[in-house]
Amino acid sequence: MKILKEPIQSLLVLEPTVYKDERGFFMETWQKELFTNLGITEQFVQDNHSKSTKGVLRGLHYQINNPQGKLVRVTKGEVFDVAVDLRKGSSTFGEWFGEYISDENKLMMWIPPGFAHGFYVMSEYAEFQYKCTDFYSPENERCLLWNDNKVKIKWPFINKNIPILSKKDQKGKRLEDIEKIVIKPMKY
Ligand SMILES: Cc1cn([C@H]2C[C@H](O)[C@@H](COP(=O)(O)OP(=O)(O)O[C@H]3O[C@@H](C)C(=O)[C@@H](O)[C@H]3O)O2)c(=O)[nH]c1=O
């Protein structure tokens, strides 16, 4: 496992070591000692798995009071995965980063607490799996609007189609109206 990029402080693109042979492949997707050595020392308390069809955009989600760090990967298909820095006091507040992650390239993203997260499905469908450092908390969950005109994410929409969004995600808030996420400085 190695860090490929750190596009925003503590936001990491990770490349696992993949062992291929005539049977297929093997890789470690999380290993406490390895991740601690990479600087990811948070405890994970929840694992999630979703499936989405082509053109679906989920996000951009974050939680206040109990922000979640997320270790994400794609086990079927391809997505364009996006994180937006919402950490109060961060010099890169409001900046975004996106990476194509797929079952082919096997890249993972470590999205530390304090970021909004979302993804857009490029393939026929995508299965998305991730570990979280805090529990899902509907009362603390917030949504930053996917097409906020200050954040200006360049989504790679297929044929310039409008993405398929949940009702909740259609009603995301603008960057100027969101509650910034308070993180202890030692966490990033
Ligand atoms: C996220 C989540 C949802 N749910 C339930 C609530 C709801 O009835 C149903 C679907 O929820 P959502 O529409 O919020 O699912 P989804 O849009 O997939 O939400 C996820 O989006 C990505 C981008 C993230 O970053 C995740 O943290 C998470 O917010 O699942 C849980 O029970 N536990 C959870 O942890």
Give pLDDT tens digits for 132-141.
999 999 999 9
Name the residue at shortest CA distance from atom 32 of ligand 1: 136
- Model confidence at 186: pLDDT above 60: no
The string of pLDDT tens digits covering residues 109-125 is 999 999 999 999 999 99
Selecting among 49, 61, 117, 125, the annotated active-site residue is 61
- Long-range contacts of the stretch 41-45 (C-beta < 8 A, 24+): 42/69, 42/112, 42/113, 42/133, 42/187, 43/133, 44/71, 44/131, 44/132, 44/133, 45/132, 45/133, 45/134, 45/135
Q: What gap in Å lies between CA 143 and CA 5, rounded to an integer?
A: 26
Q: Where are the beta strands (DSSP E) in 18-139?
A: 18-21, 24-27, 46-53, 57-63, 70-76, 78-85, 96-102, 108-111, 115-121, 125-132
Q: What is the H or E stretch that residue 12 is in?
A: strand 11-15
The closest-lying atom of ligand 1 relative to the alpha carbon of residue 50 is: 18
Selecting among 62, 120, 130, 188, the annotated active-site residue is 130
- Model confidence at 179: pLDDT above 90: no
Token look-up 């190695």 returns 2
Q: 15 vs 20, 30, 93, 128, CA distance in Å?
A: 15, 12, 26, 16
Q: How confident is the model at residue 188 (pLDDT cuts 50, 70, 90)?
A: very low
Residue 140 backbone phi and psi in degrees, to 5: -100, -5
Is 117 among the catalytic positions? Answer: no
Indicate yes or no: pTM above 0.90.
Answer: yes
Three-state DSSP state, 150: coil
